[in-house]
Amino acid sequence: MTQHLTAQNGAPIADDQNSLTAGRRGPVGLQDWHLIEKLAHFNRERIPERVVHAKGSGAYGTFTLTQDLSRYTLAEHFNEVGKQTEVVVRFSTVGGEAGSADAERDPRGFAVRFYTKNGNHDIVGNNTPVFFLRDGIKFPDFIHTQKRNPITNLKDPQAMWDFWSLNPEALHQVTILMSDRGIPLNYRHMNGYGSHTFSLWNKQGERFWVKFHFKTQQGVRNLSNAEADTLKGIDPDHAQRDLYGAIEDGQAPKWTLYLQVMPERDADSYGINPFDLTKVWPHSDYPLIEAGVLELNRNPQNYFNEIEQAAFAPSNLVPGVGASPDKMLQARLFAYADAQRYRIGGNYNQLPVNCPHAAQPNHYQRAGAMAGGGCPYHGAQQESGVNYGPNTQQGPEQKPQYAEPPLAVEGNLDRFDRFEEENVEQAGNLYRLMSDTQRQALADTIAATLSQVTAPVQQRMLAQFAGADAEYAERVAQAIEAVRG
Ligand code: HEM
């Protein structure tokens, strides 16, 4: 027998098809509280979409450690070969709205949450090891150039190239974005990178700087511009369909996690600023160390509850893993939880996808909208009446053994001129690694939109390409001529 249809208060509903009306032809009576509840709830079904990375897909799975990392970190999930930790992962595009096509030329978000016994650890990265910027103060301006023009409400190549032409630190990431790796085939066939430098510390109190790399075991595959254009039309949700379908079919996608590890003292002498997000550390300097396998094997039961309301944050750190002085990372440590308090609500960490699954939250924060939420793990939240600390009532206590080793800092508090940094060398190195066909595809893709912008912007971009490699600039100039016919 089917269950009763009920209202939100659990009361059985006799008629869900006909409003309560005075006479056969109406009008409708205000006492039809079921109708009012239904319409009122419907009006509140949407929450603000993420200000960036609005379109995405996600799934649960496991992380299995294949190499003990205790010499670098005391983080619980990185100790003991064979240990398995539950994960949730969300992939995304960046600039488009929640309903935009999956096949856009855009970086892809790659956000991983480890539900560890010492709390949730999030690595909120992209499918590229670098980013367009090295200072978070520039992020809102950059994103405005990726979104719609405030007057035309159209995507705006002039704004995009104008910004990049005035911010040469973007060239490395622009070169990746415009290359044949710029449109991943889907989410399974791409790598993920923590991108920033993070810190690890071990039981002896030694600190290491680390970069996280998730390499796809499905192989890296990408779409050409023509293939992507076709897909956008016939199946704008192709990456969601692919991920969901693969998991339903039992083909769990996997990634191998590698680390690049730099002893703390190397940071001062290494030629590359390790806290500059526009730069990679060549593997010849810091080789990849295999750490474990990430597998996605369980689809969410409710997309909105578990993926739309997932709140990943670089500030979700656990003992043994910390931040670094990277200016972009520092801005992100603030931005995500702040965005989520607005997007989801102050108690967003009580939702099942966001609350710790393997750790018991014990703190003195209380009340607020929707307090007492639905975390099904480890019993109800914050049952204790003690809402202040310290106390003499057996409330939770701080534990100094979890303290991060101190970080030495020096210098004046100031705004340092970013133009003093080196910008184009690694973009040139990447260009020189490309085959002739790849170089031409890069130049053609750039020219398709750079040909639409004003001459001064083009000139500034050509000067940047020339700084990276003279041939890079020549090819783009020729490709622009070819577009103009
Ligand atoms: C999402 C801000 C740089 C990767 C977001 C969100 C904000 C934000 C506010 C939406 C969060 C939410 O509503 O849940 C910023 C700021 C940045 C920055 C201020 C620079 C200072 C980056 C970088 C990366 C990145 C460098 C990658 C290396 C992501 C990802 C998401 C995201 C993957 C989506 C997470 C998810 O799937 O829910 N960002 N971001 N962001 N950002 Fe950033």
Of 329, 357, 385, the residue at which a domain comes to its end is 357
CB distance 87 to 120 below 8 Å: no
| 295-340 pLDDT, tens digit each | 999 999 999 999 999 999 999 999 999 999 999 999 999 999 999 9
Of 331, 357, 383, the residue at which a domain comes to its end is 357
Does residue 299 carry a catalytic annotation? Answer: no
- Whether residues 140 and 276 share a domain: the answer is yes
Using DSSP's 3-state secondary structure scheme, residue 301 falls into coil
Look up the CATH number of the domain holding residue 27.
2.40.180.10
The label of the residue with tokens 């600190």 reads: 207
Binding-site residue ranges for heme: 336
For the entire predicted model, the pTM comes to 0.97
Listed residue (300, 317, 349) closest to 123, CA to CA: 317
Q: How many domains does the chain have?
A: 2
Mean pLDDT of 437-449: 98
Does residue 362 carry a catalytic annotation? Answer: no
Report the 10 Å Cβ neighbour count for 20: 14
- Whether residues 194 and 286 share a domain: the answer is yes
- Whether residues 141 and 254 share a domain: the answer is yes
CB distance 393 to 386 below 8 Å: yes
Q: Which residues of 249-276 are buried (b: 16+ CB within 10 A; e: fewer)?
A: eeeebbbbbbbbbbebeebeeeeebbbb
Catalytic residue (one of 53, 172, 238, 357):
53
- Checking if the pLDDT of 288 tops 90, the result is yes
| 47-94 pLDDT, tens digit each | 999 999 999 999 999 999 999 999 999 999 999 999 999 999 999 999
- Whether residues 485 and 340 share a domain: the answer is no
Q: Which residues of 294-329 are buried (b: 16+ CB within 10 A; e: fewer)?
A: bbbeebbeeeeebbbbbbbbbebbbbbbbbbebbbb
Given the CA of residue 109, which atom of ligand 1 is nearest to it? 33
- Whether residues 437 and 339 share a domain: the answer is no
Q: How far is the CA of 292 from the centre of ligand 1 (A)?
A: 25
Long-range contacts of range 301-304, CB-CB < 8 Å, 24 or more positions apart? none
- Whether residues 456 and 333 share a domain: the answer is no
Atom 2, ligand 1: which residue's CA is nearest? 335
The pLDDT confidence band at residue 419, using thresholds 50, 70 and 90, is: confident
Ligand 1 touching residue 125 (CB < 6 A): yes
Domain that holds residue 457: 424-485
Q: ipTM for the complex?
A: 0.98
pLDDT of residue 71: 98
| 446-464 pLDDT, tens digit each | 999 999 999 999 999 999 9
Question: What would you report as the CA-atom Rg of the chain, rounded to the nearest whole angstrom?
Answer: 25
Of 305, 338, 357, the residue at which a domain comes to its end is 357
> How much of the chain is helix, strand and coil, in % rounded to 5?
30, 15, 50
Q: Does a structural domain hold residue 191?
A: yes
Q: Does a structural domain hold residue 398?
A: no
CA–CA dist 171, 403 (Å, integer)? 38
- Whether residues 96 and 174 share a domain: the answer is yes
Binding-site residue ranges: 336
41: phi then psi, degrees, rounded to nearest 5: -70, -40
